[in-house]
Amino acid sequence: MAIDSESGLRVLTIWARTAGNRPLVIATRKRTEWDWQCLGARDMKPAEVAEFEKWENG
């Protein structure tokens, strides 16, 4: 979890693939114990894809 030093906003990123195999990074923030808000999503950068594929292939 990352914390913005100015605003104090805590953000959790989720690295995943879509059903179409597109690698994404999704930024979320916790609202309540079981409620998370999606702040945004973007395509993974090439270095992130390489790191993610290493994790996928264990």
pLDDT in tens, 21-45: 999 999 999 999 999 999 999 999 9
pLDDT in tens, 3-26: 888 888 899 999 999 999 999 999
| pTM confidence score | 0.82
Q: In degrees, to the nearest 5, what angle opens at C-alpha 42 toward C-alphas 33 and 17?
A: 75
C-alpha–C-alpha distance, residues 43 and 28, integer Å: 15
C-alpha–C-alpha distance, residues 20 and 13, integer Å: 20
